[in-house]
Amino acid sequence: MHRVRISLFVGKLLGGWQFTRLVPVTFLLLVSNCAIVFAQHDGARDSVQQIAVGKYGNVDDLLANKKPFAGEAESAFVKMLQAIAEEQITLAEEHGRLAVELGLPPERILVGPKELLSRLPADSELKLWATQQVKHQLVHGPMVGSITDQSASVWLRTLGDAEVTVRCIETGSSVNAITSDQADWTAVLKLEGLRPNTQYHYVVEVNETVCSEASFRTFPARGSAGAFSVGFGGGAGYVPEWEGMWDTILKRKPDAFLMMGDNVYIDQPERSLTQRYCYYRRQSRPEWRRFTSQTAIYSIWDDHDFGTNDCVPGPMIDQPAWKRPVWEVFKQNWVNPAYGGGHDQPGCWYDFHIGDVHFIMLDGRYYRDLKGGTMLGPVQKQWLLETLRESTATFKVIASPVPFTVGIKKGSRDPWDGFPEERAEIFDWIQNQRIEGVFLVAADRHRTDLRVNPRPDAYDLYEFESSRLTNHHTHPVVKTEGLVWGYNKTCSYALMTFDTSVSDPVVKFECVDLDGVTQNEFILKRSQLAFDN
C-alpha cells in the first residue's frame, strides 16, 4: 500500500462541496488492484488491469485516456478481451476483426493472453480468419542475447507447440527445441563454437518453415582490449508514436543494449493476464523485433515490471506469494545469461564481459527490505562484493535499476538514498579493496543525466543515468552536487563507447535523443578511476 499526495479539486471529488482552489489530499491506494499508477500509464494497460480483477465498468473511460494513447487498434483489442471475459463472444469477434483491420498484427488475436483468448470457441470465425492472416508460426522474436566471444543465444515464441530450429549460416551448425505451454511457447536456443568479434547470420525455422533471418556479432575475446559500444536505458512505456526509438538505437549499431528496468509497465504482480499482455504488445512491435534480432539484449527489472510503484516486497523468497510467479514470467520473456541464484535464490542479477569490460547487473527489488536496510539482500550483496574484488577488467560497470547519487529523488527512499548504509558499504568496499575502474549506470528517473559522486579518500564515482526510452511521463533534471548535465526534452537513451586499446582507456558517454541526435557527451578516462598510490 502506498500513500500518494495529490492536489485535486475537492469539490469535484466529494460532490456538493464547492471549493474554488486546489487543495492537497492524501489517498491510500492499493496499487496492485488500482488502475491509477502515476509514473507512467496508458488506457489500454489500465483497462487490462481492471479486466483482470473483473471490473469491467471502467474500461470505456480508461480507453478514452489519450495521454499517452496506445492506439485505436489496441483499444479494439482490449474491448475484445473485455467482451470475452463477459462471455459476449459475438461482440468479441467484432472487436477482434476491427483491431486487425486497424493494424493490429493478426497473431495477437491468437497468441494471448491465452487465459482469455482460449475461451473463444475452437471454430470461432475470428480465430479461423486470424489464422488465415498469419504468415507463419513465429509470433515473437527472434531476440539475441547472452552473447560471448564464442556463443550466442536466440529467444523466440511460437503460436503453439512447435519444433524450432536456429541455423547459423557461416558454420552450418544448428540447434533445435520444442516449444510448449510449459514456458508460454518460448524457447532459448544457444549457438556455440563461434569465433570472437565475428559477424554471423542466422535463420529461424518453425516446423521446417523459414520464418526469420537476421545477424549478430560475437563479442571480442574476453580480456582483450578493443573498441565497442553499449547502449542502455529504462522507462519504456508503451507509446506507439515513440516506438521508433528502437530503430533509432539500431542505426547506431551498439554491440549490446541494457534494458535497465521499467521495460514494460505492468503494476499488477498478482495477475499474469496483465503481465503477459504488456510483454506481448511490445514483442509484437516490428521496430522492437528488428532491434532485438540484431542487438545483444540484457535486462533487469524495476518496480513497474516486478511489482508496483516503489514496491518494497521484503526479504523472503516466496512472500509475497506473487514473487516467484513474476520471476517465472520474466524469465520466459528475456534471454539473460542467468537469473539471480536460480531456483533456490530467485532474482535477476548476473554479470557478463565484453572484451576487458565487466558488466555487473543488479536486482534492486526482489529482496528489498527497508526494515533490514538492504536493497540487494545478503546473498546478492555478497555476490556483488566478491565479483568486484575478483574482477580484473579495465572498466567495471555496476548497473542498478535506481540511482546511487544522493538527492536524486528528493524526499524519497526508493533510490539508494533509502539504503545509505548499504550504499556506503559498497562504496567503502571499492575503496578498501582498492578496486579501480568502477563507474555506475542506472535508470528509474525519466531523463538522461551524468553525475559525479565525490569521494574524498578515493576516486570519484561517476553515474550515468537514463530512463526515458519511450515514456510519455518526464521528470525534471534535479540539480544535485556533481551534476554534469541532464536532458529531458524528449525520449532519449544512453550510449557508452569504449576504447580500451589506447594507453589511457576511455569511455565516451552520450545522451542520444529520439531522432538520433547526440544532445550531450563526456569522455571519462581510466586514469580518473584509479587510486593515487
- Segment-wise mean pLDDT, segments of 10 residues, the chain, 533 residues: 34 29 34 43 94 95 90 97 97 97 95 94 92 94 98 97 98 97 97 98 98 98 98 97 97 98 97 98 98 98 97 98 98 98 98 98 98 98 98 98 96 97 98 98 98 96 98 94 97 98 98 98 98 85
Within a 10 A sphere around the Cβ of 1, how many other Cβ atoms? 8
Homologous superfamily (CATH) of 223-500 is: Alkaline phosphatase D (PhoD) (3.60.21.70)
57 CB-near residues (< 8 Å, 6+ apart): none
CA-nearest of 398, 397, 402 to 467 is 402
What pLDDT score does 30 carry? 35
What pLDDT score does 18 carry? 29
Rounded CA separation 246/224 (Å): 29
DSSP state of 309: T
What pLDDT score does 65 carry? 83
What pLDDT score does 122 carry? 87
The alpha carbon of residue 390 and the mean position of all alpha carbons in its chain are separated, in whole angstroms, by 28
Q: What pTM, to 2 d.p., does this model score?
A: 0.92
Cell of 511: 545522451
- Give me the half-sphere count of Cα atoms (radius 13 Å) on the Cβ side of residue 13: 14
50 CB-near residues (< 8 Å, 6+ apart): 35, 56, 58, 59, 62
**Helix, strand, or coil here: 345?**
coil
Cell of 116: 482469455
What pLDDT score does 308 carry? 97
Rounded CA separation 214/297 (Å): 14
Output the furthest CA–CA distance in the chain (Å, rounded).
76
What pLDDT score does 526 carry? 98
What pLDDT score does 120 carry? 93
- Give me the half-sphere count of Cα atoms (radius 13 Å) on the Cβ side of residue 485: 12
What pLDDT score does 359 carry? 99
Q: Are strands 483-487 and 492-499 parallel, antiparallel or unpaired?
A: unpaired
Within a 10 A sphere around the Cβ of 298, how many other Cβ atoms? 23
Rounded CA separation 286/276 (Å): 18
Rounded CA separation 354/61 (Å): 48
The domain 138-216 is classified under which CATH number: 1.10.3720.10, 3.90.700.10, 2.60.40.380, 2.30.110.10? 2.60.40.380
What pLDDT score does 66 carry? 82
What pLDDT score does 33 carry? 34
What pLDDT score does 41 carry? 83
What pLDDT score does 39 carry? 58
What sign for the dihedral angle of Cα 189, 194, 197, 200?
negative
482 CB-near residues (< 8 Å, 6+ apart): 405, 451, 452, 453, 454, 460
